[in-house]
Amino acid sequence: MKCPACRGTLITLEFNAVEIDHCGTCGGVWLDSGELESLLSREEGSDSLLATMRPGRGKEWKRRCPICSKGMKKTSIGNAAPVVVDRCVEHGLWFDRGELNKVFSAGCVDSHRGAGTSGLLAILDEVFAPETKDTP
């Protein structure tokens, strides 16, 4: 599968049996339809986050779905500090580098639970910020 942002190759990672497609070039992440729900369903208090999804506006150019090549729709997630991501209604969601972390951080804030998403955030930090991994 090709990265919708930079046309790099997406690498499939697995986190708790959920497949995450990661672009090693630009650091973006593709989640198939339902995978975000699967990830969130394991995190206490994150269900409400999905309810905050609504059509959003983004300044970025329109991305194309890596599966069907149709233009994706801007979708905002979160209440306090919404993150705008690209969504193919049929196939899934595209998160630019750092956006997935923001979504899960927002989930923590919205639900007033600090520890729920820490495991996932730790993995995301490790995978998506390798250049800072060895910095104390």
Residues lying near Zn ion in the complex (CB under 5 A) are found at 3, 5-6, 8, 23, 25-26, 28, 65, 67-68, 88, 90-91
CA 62 – CA 53 distance, rounded (Å)? 18
Question: CB-wise, 20 or 108, nearer to Zn ion?
Answer: 20
Q: What is the smallest separation between the CB atom of 109 and Zn ion, expressed in angstroms?
A: 28
For the bound state, the minimum distance from the C-beta of residue 21 to Zn ion, rounded and expressed in Å, comes to 10
* Beta carbon of residue 6, minimum distance to Zn ion (angstroms, whole number): 3
Question: CB-wise, 55 or 119, nearer to Zn ion?
Answer: 55
| Ordered DSSP codes for the chain | -B-TTT--BEEEEEETTEEEEEETTT--EEEETTHHHHHHHTSTT-HHHHTT-EE---SSPPPB-TTT-PBPEEEEE-SSS-EEEEEETTTEEEE-TTHHHHHHHHHHHHHT-SSTTHHHHHHHHHHH-GGGTT--
Q: Smaller CB distance to Zn ion: residue 43 or 87?
A: 87
**2 or 102, CB closer to Zn ion?**
2
We find the least distance from the C-beta atom of residue 4 to Zn ion, in angstroms, to be 8
